[in-house]
Chains A and B, each alone.
Chain A
Amino acid sequence: MSALTFAATTVGYGPKPVVRDAIFTVGAGEFVGLVGPNGAGKSTLLRAVTGSADVISGDITLGDASALRMADRDRARVVGVVPQTPVPLFAFPARAFVEMGRNPHLSRLGSLGAADHRIVDEAMARTDTAHLAAEPVDELSGGDLQRLTLAQALAQQPRVLLLDEPTSHLDLNHALQVLDLVRSLADDGMAVLGVFHDLEIAARYADRIAIVADGRLRPPVPPVEALDASTIAEIFGVRAVVRTDPVTGTVGITPVLRDADLAGERTGETVGVVCGSGTGASFMRQLAKAGHGVFAGALNRGDVDHAVAEAIGAGRVDLPPFGEIGEADERTTREGYERSACVIVCETPFGRPNLPNLRAALGSGRPLVLIGQMAEARDFTGGQARQLWDEALSRGAERVDSESEALEALARRLGTEA
């Protein structure tokens, strides 16, 4: 049975809907992340569970009971919330602050018993706040306060935990500590629903991710499916390279450009780039940002340069991973370079599979700008790359030492200011 269910729920403030017809569940032992642009209504969905935002239609259930019809006290025994850090104005000692989490469990005249104190002790130990017990909360840092607020929520012993940007005030170490803790709480059977701005953090810790945008919620799916490049472009207006992070094994996201950067006036001049293995990534990004169209040659899928070219919408010839550039590919590539105003050769290492890119550039007859030197370390072709390089120089190619010099040379040749 799901611990938390949104059943075609429309939430908002007063009569004004913010998110319509949200349908999803969070099961016991599951960690679901909510991501989306600012103001899309992620927090509103969380706040609706505890009655701080209005449910306009539909229902929210906790187990088999409607959250909307539960007494506040009963609901507080089931749902714990870690809001974006509150700012207490009053000098409660930290331990008293955490003890407040026991409120829904205490009888009217009762006070905290031994069991309650044990629960509070454990909550403070797990959030690394035991040493703060005597400190007044109005003098603590935002990070300490955020962990104490989590401890307060844990003292409620909830079955469902709602997190709103739980790491926004935390340094890297404490952020990972808190998220590891939340992950282990989920593994122990708690249902967790968390709002995140950091997509990689969400992807790393959540089992499933739901995207909230344009007043709608896309039902949660595993991070790899939820956060592909086209979704990120569509939701956030950001062209990003999305890959599997080699360290964490989860989704790694490198933003390349904002749509707004590409929305400026194109100069009309397309620039050819010879690249591969990441040697052209930064350069292509700068070209796109400066308003140029780019033709990136033949690139293997899985290559960073391929991903960047795809992100900025550059012309290219797609090759399978580790595939060689065949004769037909080389012809198409040369045609691409022929349509370019100028071709820049990045500091790419050349081997037999990608040498045709350099040959196509030379064969296009367009003006060439060569970056760096053709050192031996770059040439895995037994001298063929060196030969093409020298030939280009003898035909009047310009050689520069850096990407910024290449941009200047390009501006000069195109008759525009750098």
Chain B
Amino acid sequence: MTPSPGRSRAALTLVGLAAALALAIVAGVAFGAVRIPPAEVIAAVSRALTGHGGGLADAVVVDLRLPRVLLAALVGASLALAGVLYQALFKNALADPYILGVSSGAGLGATLALAALGTSYAARAVGVPVGAFVGAALTMLLVVQLASRRGRLDPTSLLLAGIAVSYTLSALTSFVLVYDRETMTSVVFWMMGGLQNRSWQHVGMLALMFSAGAVVPALFHRELDLMLLGDERAGQLGVSVERFKLVMLASASLVVAGAVSVSGLIGFVGLMTPHMVRLVIGPRHRLLLPASVLAGAIVLVIADLLARVVLAPVEIPVGIVTALAGGPFFIWLLVRKEHRR
């Protein structure tokens, strides 16, 4: 009995996805107001890496396009990771950071941090992600609390609570923005889910938060599998369920906070991506986690590319692109579930 055929297929899947992501990134950098040939993109990046960079064309690639595309990849990866975690912990195929209200919570936390600390560099660099994390974590606790009846988490209640909380927190965010007009202008476009004017600092911060949030789930992929059998069964097979959930929800909140801090509210990536990946490779998290992370990155890089080129030179917030694709997908899932009963 050797598990090697499965293992080599898994490796193949991941290599394929990584290659696709590399292609998407090159395409993302190449397209824009000025089109840059892919070969030139790669040349510019390698010049920058070897310290021979210079010139306006290189600056467009390295300082403007590349950080934005990498940021899109990291945001997509973060949202997909959070989606995988929520779907496993809640045994709910419709769970994602946007629908559960966690994104709105992170958005409110970030907005409050901005309003309180002003638009100084420190506020943006530290206050926003910390505020987003606190907002995300508190919202998650609130939604779980609202959806629990005598210690049981009802799937429908979870979605309803998430959506209700999401609306309330979005309204609160708008209220803060109206109240504090100074913050408003800088925040509104961000809240709609956009990736404009992002720098390498944002990339660094998000990379840090994503890595911190991803390492624990990666170590506990077996327990995530067990959680799909239900809390009670997972406990019988040796998982300390309550503690495990808390750690995983903290990880998810961290990556959602990171994503929201740099790009505002981008919906449905966390819902769609794990679903599509699961349909292809099955539910085992050892493969599902890395594959969803890569797929989420690909999805958002492409969505951002579309956001930039569809109405060029006008740019659409990327959240609108993902919502246009994700809304119908969500409805399809709902309808299919109804039919199964």
Contacts and interface: CB of A to CB of B under 8 A. Distances in A.
Do A and B pair up? The answer is: yes
Interface stretch (B73-81, B237-245, B312-320): B237-245
A219 to B, nearest CB: 26
B228 interface: yes
Interface string B223-240: 101101110110111111
B198 interface: no
Nearest to B219: A108
A99 B140 CA distance: 32
Interface of B is mostly: loop
A103 B1 contact: no
B284 A92 contact: yes
Nearest to B233: A86
A92 B282 contact: yes
B238 A121 contact: no
Contact of B222 (A90, A103, A117): A103
B284 A88 contact: no
A170 B217 CA distance: 37
Given A72-B238, A72-B239, A89 B219 contact: no
B91 interface: yes
Q: How large is the interface on A (under 10, 10 to 19, 20 to 34, 35 or more residues)?
A: 35 or more
Contact of B225 (A71, A73, A76, A92): A92
A73 B240 contact: yes
A289 interface: no
Given A52-B232, A73-B240, A103-B237, A96 B284 contact: yes
A76 B223 CA distance: 13
Contacts of A76: 236-238
B238 to A, nearest CB: 3
Q: How large is the interface on B (under 10, 10 to 19, 20 to 34, 35 or more residues)?
A: 20 to 34
Contacts of A89: 91, 93, 228
Interface in A47-106: 47, 50-52, 71-73, 75-77, 79-81, 83, 86, 88-93, 96, 100-101, 103-104, 106
Interface in A10-57: 14, 47, 50-52
A71 B240 contact: yes
Given A72-B235, A77-B238, A117-B1, A103 B226 contact: yes
Q: Among B230, B239, B283, which residue has the most Cβ atoms of chain A within 10 A? A: B283
B219 A92 contact: no
A156 interface: yes
A86 B240 contact: no
Contacts of B282: 91-93, 136
A101 B233 contact: no
